[in-house]
Structure 1
């Protein structure tokens, strides 16, 4: 079998479980890696009806903006037998598998009517599928139970640590809340909640749009955004340890501005290509 060939199928599917899915007029095989659905670069070329190598070229062009093991996986040749069950050969240099986020970043460059239609169907029917119940062995069930107990212990420890942190940060929180109430300013978390946005996704959006960046361990707006009146940076002193701290707050003008950008981003995922 050739890498990237259209023959993608599992060698031993579970009873009643389909190994392909119809995307437009194309039967695309279901490929999973590390518990999530993924696609190869060749699969993207096929389903988007692009010349062979288009997705690979776009991936190499945008690779520096992607995060390994979050947006894509580089499967080593040593795992060829595992991947071969999907009818895919892993070359000696390894095989690129894209997650949903990696696919979204890559498909931005395919800005046409077909790309829109394929994108919507892939996300809805392929990536965000309802997983079929799997039969688990006793060992797997035991491992799940142990993992659950470890998570409970970790959650209790994190809760206790968070309570301690909240107590230590209470003066700072009260300091910023007083500004927010007086001036109509809002913190990052308050704005994310207002927009009903996932905080991690919203943070990444602000970075991609060159609105905020991490500076000396603190999220800071770019100077032109401050000059435009979208942010105010407040500085205070922690009463407990006399340490100086600062936080960037959205102004009412900035809240209205970012809400418009976020709305356009949600309505049109391809619009995130440009800068605000």
Structure 2
């Protein structure tokens, strides 16, 4: 809907003909609805009535051709167009009314800033951006720490680290892996006064009760048993580190 903008009293208005064309009805229908419900319309709120010199002045400023013999002109405000939409109560009228409110009566004004206001606005936006960036970085750091903590406490991850260190000892000494593990487990039992074989048996029973398959539960190793107890994990790490330092030229 392409409308020529008309203003009166520093606000946008529509002539009866424009309103009728938009609502897809006749100008006379608009006039009749107004006459039947005149008590609901307030001059200056819903419409303006131009006559005499005021109408003559309007004719000289508007870009719309008006009949020369026209002696009375109604101009409808946004609130007036609403009342006409209610009177017509058609889908088209309501559709056009919504469009008029959004694009004609309340057009979005471009943001106009002075150079100083623009600089201040950009500076404020930059401060907000930096704060959000700091917040994001802090959140990422928390996530990283959480993941790191989780990894360290995860038995599978811990075992992977220990297996890697044991592999280094095997490669440096040339001994069989089973023999290296035997020395490590022996030292752990002596230093913590624990029985790893008994720990393995208890872990197997817990796994079977938890629903783990018999085959998987029976495949449990001494390293699995160590991984499930924090005290044994810490002691085993010290022992493995001692072997690495002795046979692998440090960590």
Task: Establish whether TM, by shorter chain, passes 0.5.
Answer: no
Larger radius of gyration: 2
Q: TM-score under structure 1 normalisation?
A: 0.36
Greater per-residue helix proportion: 2
Which structure's residues are more often strand, by fraction? 1
TM-score normalized by the length of structure 2:
0.39
